[in-house]
């Protein structure tokens, strides 16, 4: 894993956007794996600016998101469908039919999860996958567990994750208890992984991801097995290294 040390969140966002933009320019029909949460917001803002001011072209790009809260309607302001449209897709020239996000209200959970994995695999996997890091060490919504789970599925969220994500909701009680998330096979199948880590709240999780044993209780530690991971971490996030 290659660690890119940056001073602060602003620099992290610009650096991440620079790497994504390079990928889009080099391969205009790239498949991008996208994350939600607070951390990638600055990167999406900068990509929108690059589109508007420098003509960065997303018209042939395909995207897959990592996860979605279970049970929220797509137009719910807290759904990741809403998030992606609001912060990114509505401001660039992407073909919405080429954007994929796990369904939050599937009629048949098992078959829709299998279909999501199958579609990503049939398209050859992600060229570039953006990841954030949970305070629990989670990636996507793969929470600490006794095993690494390979496939897309419905999961229960940790109490600490629900609390950490509560600021997006009116009350902490409104945070869904479950989510649909891709598994480790989807993530590890990406050709390049960009892990974005900001703030001292993530310092311990980053230290264990980088230096700890590969342990399903620290889900991100599995990234040690991937040959092409770039971690962009600001000074606060690196405070325990």
Minimum Å distance from CB 134 to ligand GLP?
4
Report yes or no: 109 and 178 within 8 Å, Cβ to Cβ: no
Q: Which of 102, 125, 132, 183 binds ligand GLP (CB under 6 A)?
A: 132
Number of H helices, E strands in the chain: 7, 10
Under the criterion CB under 6 A, does residue 165 sit at the interface with ligand GLP? yes
The residue (of 122 and 173) whose beta carbon lies closer to ligand GLP is 173
Sheet of strand 229-233, all strands in order from the earlier edge strand to the far edge: 2-5, 229-233, 192-197, 128-132, 31-34, 62-65, 99-100
Structure tokens, 132: 């954030």
Under the criterion CB under 6 A, does residue 117 sit at the interface with ligand GLP? no
Q: Which of 33, 42, 134, 137 binds ligand GLP (CB under 6 A)?
A: 134
Q: Which of 1, 14, 19, 38 binds ligand GLP (CB under 6 A)?
A: 38
Report yes or no: 47 and 17 within 8 Å, Cβ to Cβ: yes
Q: Which of 9, 13, 33, 37 binds ligand GLP (CB under 6 A)?
A: 37
Under the criterion CB under 6 A, does residue 66 sit at the interface with ligand GLP? yes
Sole residue written with tokens 């994350």: 35
Q: Which of 43, 64, 67, 183 binds ligand GLP (CB under 6 A)?
A: 67
């Amino acid at each position: 894993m290659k660690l890119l040390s940056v001073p602060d969140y602003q620099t992290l966002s610009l650096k991440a956007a620079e790497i994504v933009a390079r990928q889009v320019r080099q391969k205009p029909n790239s498949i991008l794996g996208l994350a939600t949460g607070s951390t990638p917001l600055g990167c999406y803002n900068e990509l929108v600016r690059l589109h508007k001011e420098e003509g960065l072209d997303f018209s042939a790009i395909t995207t897959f998101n990592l996860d979605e809260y279970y049970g929220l309607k797509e137009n719910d302001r807290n759904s990741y469908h809403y998030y992606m449209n609001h912060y990114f897709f509505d401001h660039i020239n992407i073909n919405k039919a080429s954007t994929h996000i796990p369904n939050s209200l599937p009629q048949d959970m098992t078959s829709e999860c299998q279909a999501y994995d199958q579609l990503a695999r049939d398209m050859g996997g992600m060229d570039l996958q953006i990841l954030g890091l949970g305070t629990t060490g989670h990636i996507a919504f793969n929470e600490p567990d006794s095993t690494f789970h390979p496939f897309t599925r419905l999961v229960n969220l940790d109490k600490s994750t629900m609390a950490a994500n509560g600021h997006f909701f009116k009350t902490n009680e409104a945070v869904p208890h479950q989510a649909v998330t891709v598994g480790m096979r989807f993530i590890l199948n990406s050709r390049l992984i960009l892990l974005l880590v900001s703030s001292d709240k993530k310092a311990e999780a980053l230290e264990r991801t980088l230096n700890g044993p590969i342990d399903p209780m620290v889900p991100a530690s599995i990234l040690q097995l991937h040959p092409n991971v770039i971690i962009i971490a600001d000074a606060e996030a690196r405070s325990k290294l």
